[in-house]
Structures are given as C-alpha cells and as structure tokens.
Structure 1
Amino acid sequence: MNSKQLQYFLATAEQGSIAAAAKHLDVAQPAISLQLTNLEHELKIKLLERDFRGVKLTDAGNRFEQHARIIMEKIQAAKTDLIGEQAECKGKVVVGLNQSSCNVLSVALLNELEHRFTDIELSFKIGPFDMIENWLAEDQIDIAVCHKPITKNGISDALPLIREDINLYISPHPQNPSYSELAMHSSIPFVELQYYDIFLPDKQDTLTIMLTKQANKSGITLKSKAAFGQLMTTLHYVTQGLGLVICPSSAVFHLESCKQLRVINIIQPSLQRDVFLQLAHKKQHEPAAMAVFELLREITALSHDNKNWRGTLLDRKYAIPSVNNIETLVTG
C-alpha cells in the first residue's frame, strides 16, 4: 500500500467514477484502475462496486475510506511540518575549520545544503586552531571544528566528533632514493621517523605540538621540513615523489582514492587526536546554525564509514550500523 493508491482511491470515491477521478487528477484512467486493482489485491477485499454508472463503495470500502483519509491527513501534516522547518532555516552561517577538516567536510556540506536547506547561505573561514579559537571567541564564526574544546567565560559545550588517526603519507613513486624502500612498507615505528625529512605545520599547530611531545617522550628528534603554508601546495609536492607528510586521512583521502598517495601507518605508538564540533552560544537556538551543526555530524559519520576520515568515531548519533550489528538492531 502506498500514498498514490490512497490518493487514487479517495479521488475515485469522491468523484463517483474512475473516469472523473482521472480527469480531476489529470492522470490516465488505466493508471488509476491498475492502482485500485493492486490495492484491493493487497487488502484481499473488494472496496468498489463498478457498473455502467460509475463506482460505489462497498461496506468495506466505506470503512477503509475513513482510514485512508486519516493516513493522508497525517502525511500532509508531516510534509507541512517539514516544509515549515526548512522555511525557518534561512540566513548566513559561518563555519571555521582547519585545512584538513575543510577538505573532507566542505564539499559534502555544500551539496547537502543545496538539496535540503536552500535558503541557508554558507561560508567558511579556514585557519589553524588558534585562529579558530579567536574567531569563535570574537563571534566571527558560528560553528567551529577544532582540536580541543574552546572555552568562553569558563564554559565549553564542545561535542567530541572523531578521534582521527595520524599517519605518514608518501607517493607510490618516490623520486628521492631514500624513500624507495619506505614506499614498500605498510607501517613504520614512530622512532624511525627520525631518519626522514617530513613536512610539518608550524610549531604552534596542534599536530606539530603532538608530534614533538611524542618525539621527546621517545628520545628522538624529528627532522621537519617547513610546509608551504597551503596544504594543497604541500600535498602537490609530496605527490610528485619529492617529500613525506604526516597528517590525518581527512586531508588526503581524495589523493589516496586516485592512488597519488599511499598511507603508511605510524605504530609503536599509533597516533590520534580528537576533533570537536562547537556551536557559538548565541546561535544555539537559531534554526539555520543548528541545521548546519547537525549536517556536520551526519557528514562526519558518513565520511568515517567511507574510510575518508579514519579513526574512532566519537559522535555516534549518525553512525552507520555495521553488518554485524544489523541483526541485533532488527531483533531489538
């Protein structure tokens, strides 16, 4: 049973004939006849008596008409409610991200807005964490994707989003002879990173701080090369086989998919860092900002499921169940 069958049934009952219903709905008469036949077949009961004068509801048809009207009214109420919500979701929303999270989130977010919230105007401010922290504190952005909770007046309501894996990336065809053997490895112990020149962000970046802390703990010194400032330029250099870079998969998933880069997992220990999602306090009751906030949660879960953003998904609201869990969900 579907809404089209109910619509055709009610129109036929109101108009008194299939021909009149077809004219009223601007639908071909055979299409209505087929849907009504399918409806009766599914219910295993006759709803309409047909003769040369038109159609007449059977006793069962009269009872079913009441249910059909209630169902269609519920469907219309749901549509009206959803359309009303979307109508409220309008205005400008500014999202602050770093370059890697922008790479994995921005295109998907824009695409979803085009389909679901056409009246929301979205813009991005891209920068390192310290800038994102200042932007949120100064109300320059409405939503922050950041690497630690941002506090304002001693309060933080940041949502833990994902604990992203940090890996080493290399071109499948390195031009530097010292990288040739490394290109064949699937993993590398952290202490062995000391033997390679690796592109890292500036010293204030959370990734560089984390790596430096681990290097000190391991008793080694990393030989870092200054990145080009723009992640895209650095990655282009690495894809040419001229360097190595440490970053999360969110920064390079598009290059992995077309085999311009390959991942080497860092082990002993493996490296991860938390990513948080935070909505500005003044925007917590604004429908547009809240809609974008929820879309970012949804897109993160989908990106994680697609292996574009690898790590541990911390926000499980939109997590996609694994095949092993489907039976449990169905049986309760």
Structure 2
Amino acid sequence: MNIRQLTYFVRLAETGNFTRAAEQLHIAQPALSIAIKKLESQLELPLFHRNDRKVVLTHEGDILLEHARLILQQMEDAKIAMAELKGLEKGEVRLGLPSMLGSYFFPDILMDFKSQYPNLKLTIVEAGTQSIRKMLLNGELDLGIIHNADVPDSLATEHLITSQMVAVASEGSPLSQQETISFNDFFKHELVMFKQGYFHREFIDEVCHQYQLTPRIAFETNLLPMILKIVRNDFAITALLEMVTQHEKGLAPIPFSQPIFLDIAIAWRKNGYLSVADRAFMEFVKKHCQ
C-alpha cells in the first residue's frame, strides 16, 4: 500500500464513479481500475461494491477511508511544512551576542533580517564569549558571535568584522587629550570592567598576564550602561570596542600604543544541525559585514 494507491482510493470513494475519478486524477480509467484491484488484492479485502453506474464502499472500505484521509492530510501537512521552511516562513534562530556588539552593531542587522523574514523567530541571548561557546556546545544556541581566538575544536567559525579595542575615558579627563596610551599607563588608573567570560575582560587579563601588570579594578559589572555612566562621571576608565564610542556621547576613545584589533566571528557546532533559518541568517549577516 502506497500514497498513490491511497490517493486513487480516496478519490474513487468521494466520486463513486471510476470515470469521474480517473478524469480528476488525470489518468486512464483502466489504470485506476487496475490500481484499486491491486490494493484490494494486497489487503485481501473488498473495498467497493461495484455496479454499472456507481461504486459504493464496503464496510472495510469505510474503515480504510478514515485512515487514508488522515494519512494523506499528514502527508500534505508535511509538504507544507517543508515548503514553508524552504520559503523561510517558519523557524527560529537562537543567537548568542556579547553586550557591546548586541547594543551597537547588531540591532540594525536583526531588524533588517526580521523585515525580510517576518515569520521567523529570533531568540537573542546576551552573554560573554566563554558562555556563548558553552551554550553552542550544549545545544542551547544555534549560532553565536564570539572573539575568534582559542576556539574549541568542536566549533566552526567564520570571520565577520575586525574591531579595535581602545581605552575609554570621559571627555573631560586629561587622558582624552592623548593620542595613544600605553598599557602601563592604562593599568595605573582605576578601571571599570566586565566580569570574566567576556572578550573585553579576556583582552585585559591577557595583557596583564603578558606584561606582568596588575589591574586596579574598582568596579566589575556586566551592565554596559553602568560601565558607561561610571566612565562619563570620571570614576574610572575602561577598554571597549571603538564602535561604542562612535555611538555614545561624553566618551573619549584613546587607542593603545600597541593597537589591539579583535577578530569577531560567527560560530556554530561543527557536528550540529543548522536549519534553513540559521543558514539564511548567517548569509544575511555575512553580506551585511561585507
């Protein structure tokens, strides 16, 4: 018993006539008759009472009709579901974003993507690079935006943008007049920093380790608005992606004497399944970044 046979059977049951059923199915009447006889032979049950003008379902045919209609409907539902996915009419993208990129670089991308694919769901999780890596590996996220360094072998990445990390002080700070700042001078100041796990903090910790420096961390928070307010009020300085200072007033970016550029990438599990929606989002982001 196959889908074609069930389709023929249901159409004949609904029309009650071989000629009309064959016309609607766009097949020859003898072919329909052969298909129905083969189905009855396979089931070893009579499905129709036949006479010259009309065919009527037997009791066995009535029972099969109920199941056949359900099977055909499920097949149609499956086709529609697959077609909708191909057309990106359904689906979800679960994306991990660090705070700075989520606040300043990705909002326009996300809104443009949603405008193009209004029926897709975007689930955004704000987290640091380390947390995003773990959530990707655990299957909690499909895609993540991370600093492309020390990436686990089980993750694949593709470069998106290169962004400079700069020291950030208030516009009224004497530091704002400097063209550059050394690491030694930077770490002499009180700092407001993200907690460990964010690429912003990874950068600071790596510099301290490399140059054997000890940071004076006065404030530690993952709340970017709080970091910005502390810096604007000249309570501490920090290090942020330069794009932040391009959007925020009252801040002065000071490049480091040894420039720091971060490779920002989109990541996913190498052995994980990427849905049509996930792949569409990746392509959309890559085109935007180009």
**In structure 2, how many angstroms separate the alpha carbons of the residues matched to 1:187 and 1:116?**
42
Amino acid at match of 2:163: E
**In structure 2, how many angstroms separate the alpha carbons of the residues matched to 1:107 and 1:209?**
24
**In structure 2, how many angstroms separate the alpha carbons of the residues matched to 1:238 and 1:127?**
22
* Mapped contact 2:190–2:237 kept (Cα < 8 A): yes
The aligned counterpart of 2:180 is 187
The aligned counterpart of 1:145 is 145
- 5 Å-filtered alignment, 1:74-113, equals 87-113=87-113
* Mapped contact 1:105–1:296 kept (Cα < 8 A): no
Following superposition, the deviation at residue 229 of structure 1 comes to: 2.5
Alignment partner of 1:231 is 2:230: no
**In structure 1, how many angstroms separate the alpha carbons of the residues matched to 2:85 and 2:265?**
26
Alignment partner of 1:260 is 2:259: no
Alignment partner of 1:221 is 2:214: yes
The aligned counterpart of 2:155 is 156
The aligned counterpart of 1:167 is 166
- 5 Å-filtered alignment, 1:1-332, equals 87-147=87-147, 148=149, 150-151=151-152, 154-173=153-172, 180-255=173-248, 259-267=249-257, 269-280=258-269, 281-284=271-274, 286-299=275-288, 301=289, 318=290
Following superposition, the deviation at residue 296 of structure 1 comes to: 2.1
The aligned counterpart of 1:308 is none
**In structure 1, how many angstroms separate the alpha carbons of the residues matched to 2:232 and 2:89?**
41
Instruction: Note the residue ranges of structure 1 that are not aligned, 5 or more in a row.
Output: 1-82, 174-179, 302-317, 319-332
Identity of aligned residues (%): 15
Q: What is the SS of the residue equivalent to 2:135?
A: helix
**In structure 1, how many angstroms separate the alpha carbons of the residues matched to 2:141 and 2:85?**
23
Q: Which has the larger radius of gyration?
A: 2
Amino acid at match of 1:136: L
**In structure 2, how many angstroms separate the alpha carbons of the residues matched to 1:110 and 1:219?**
40
Following superposition, the deviation at residue 207 of structure 1 comes to: 3.1
Following superposition, the deviation at residue 216 of structure 1 comes to: 3.8
Q: What is the SS of the residue equivalent to 1:282?
A: coil
**In structure 2, how many angstroms separate the alpha carbons of the residues matched to 1:124 and 1:149?**
23
* Mapped contact 1:149–1:276 kept (Cα < 8 A): no
**Counterparts in 2 of 1:108 and 1:195: CA distance versus 1, 3 Å:** same
Length-normalised TM-score, structure 2: 0.63
Following superposition, the deviation at residue 149 of structure 1 comes to: 6.2
What per-residue deviation string (whole Å, max 9, x for no partner) do you get for residues 121-161 of structure 1?
1110111122111211111111111123643xx43321122
Q: Quick check: 133-142 or 233-242, which moved more?
A: 233-242
**Counterparts in 2 of 1:216 and 1:155: CA distance versus 1, 3 Å:** closer
Instruction: Note the residue ranges of structure 2 that are not aligned, 5 or more in a row.
Output: 1-82
* Mapped contact 1:99–1:251 kept (Cα < 8 A): no
